[in-house]
Structure 1
């Protein structure tokens, strides 16, 4: 059984150094996730099994190449993890296939301003070749909302506005709600059953919310990643995804009441033990 992880954390957005829409806690988040996966024996800390992309190395091309590496050769029962901590955004869906809001949710690589964002459609396409029975957990600590990045009381929002060429059409056609990145529609529950989904999605917030980072234990951390890693360390290996979600959600709310994590998957994947 293969165990592999692609871990992305971006504080420094192009241009390198001061000047981009920079964050502060995402590289620390990536380190925390990599260390948690390693110490729990989920994914070994060796380059053949774990790839880490941070800051200027986390380009659009490198992230997509890393996703291809992650799923290539995967077999049933393999444990695969894609983790991303950084800015999220939305752009108008040119195909209008997003029936709920006509928007594509995105993650923002280091060079998104020149190379473009990575949309939910591109992410789904990147994992369409995943072998049946392989266990892929996609974990995203980023915003999927329609409010520009701004400082709030004691925390920073992980959202970046797209350029005017795209944001104008979004703002001129307001919608009631947004789909979560790679999700299938708004829902009121923390765990959402999505029949036929070939992966499990862990989102740091719901479709119409903001994911935040702030001071935790003497450093800056993403609220969702911190609570996820802490809960996983306390419960693994005897915890289902649904049970882990039920622990993480109130822990995040206790630190930041503006976001509610979201779990999506099939009934079987939600009820099975995580990372097995």
Structure 2
């Protein structure tokens, strides 16, 4: 079994926004710490990790690296993608304003945003029944009001214009998360998975999700994401990291379980993020929540986290 990883952290968004208004503080340190955790705790060889920070983390570079580690994966191998940076939402059909389907997306340092369809295309040769492709994404996609005077805590989502918020609230009925590698032919399985889309007081987009479709058998990967569709992921310069990444690494460092399952990781992560939120975010942002999520292949949640699959589905 070989484990390979692509690790991305972006603080510098000055190519996307020369004003510097999109810049973050803690994503590169997140990526660096996750890199070392892969080596120290999950036996990934440094030569098998492709690390990109700030301006090197372009769309083309990221997708090329993901394509490489998934294309050479053999039965029993593990491919990992880690991302710390901004998220966004884009229409599934960019040419029509009236579409009701949207993609969550990652914002690279340069180039077009990266959606789940992009990951599904570049990982097309991967055999998900025998190869574990896991994505860990510390970003959010719900928009929100960004306090530009607050340099300590930041939200990892692009800020949406009033026009875009109104459009999403009036049209959105299907939301495809980034990182589950859902084939285009299977998108119908998520049709109508969100409802009652509305603008929250803090400028985020609130909604109700059909919880029966969080896990989708047709997914070709497993996703551990930083929050629900209607929440934000937070970073704190005092902490030096994003809350999700810090909680994840703390959980690995203190756990006596040498091979936790995906469900166990999610449970530990939610508890740890809640504690960090109370200490670092709630004093200045009362009422906010952040709830890490597991999405993707429903038959893999009890498998070992970042381990080779133990069975082949019939």
**1:213 aligns with one of 216, 230, 235:** 235
Q: When the two structures are superposed, what TM-score results if normalisation uses the length of structure 2?
A: 0.75
Kept in 1: contact 2:179–2:221 (CA 8 A): no
- How much does 1:57 deviate? 0.2
Note the 1:17-96 alignment, pairs <5 A. 19-20=19-20, 21-46=22-47, 49-94=48-93
Specify every segment of 5 or more residues in structure 1 that has no aligned partner in the other structure, as ranges. Answer: none
Partner residue of 1:251 out of 265, 268, 272: 272
- Contact 2:28/2:53 (CA < 8 Å) preserved in 1? yes
Q: Answer with 235-244 or 199-208: which moved more.
A: 235-244
Q: Are 2:3 and 1:7 aligned?
A: no
Return closer, same or farther for 1:246/1:253 CA change in 2, 3 Å cut-off. Answer: same
Whichever of the two has the greater Rg, that structure is 2
Asked if 1:158 corresponds to 2:171, the answer is no
When normalised by structure 1's length, the TM-score is 0.85
- What residue ranges of structure 2 are gaps of 5+ in the alignment? 181-189, 194-208, 278-287, 308-314
Pair 1:141 & 2:138 matched: yes
Q: 1:144 touches 1:180 (CA, 8 Å); kept in 2?
A: no
Give the corresponding residue for 2:300: 269
Shift, 1:127, TM fit: 1.9
**Pairwise CA RMSD of aligned residues?**
2.9
What do residues 21-66 of structure 1 show as CA deviations (whole Å, max 9, x unaligned)? Answer: 10000000001100111111431122xx000000010011111111
Greater mean alpha carbon deviation, residues 194-203 or residues 251-260: 251-260
- In 2, distance between residues paired with 1:96 and 1:269? 36
Provide the residue aligned with 1:224 in structure 2. 244
**Distance in 1 separating the partners of 2:260 and 2:31:** 22
- Number of equivalences: 264
Q: Is the 8 A contact 1:101 1:179 kept in 2?
A: no
User: 1:269 aligns to what SS in structure 2?
Assistant: coil
Where 2:289 maps in the other structure, the secondary structure is coil
**Aligned counterparts of 2:16 and 2:295: Cα–Cα separation in 1:** 35
Contact kept? 1:88, 1:144, Cα under 8 Å = yes
- Give the match for residue 204 of structure 1: 226
- The answer to whether the Cα contact below 8 Å between 1:144 and 1:181 also exists between their aligned partners in 2 is no
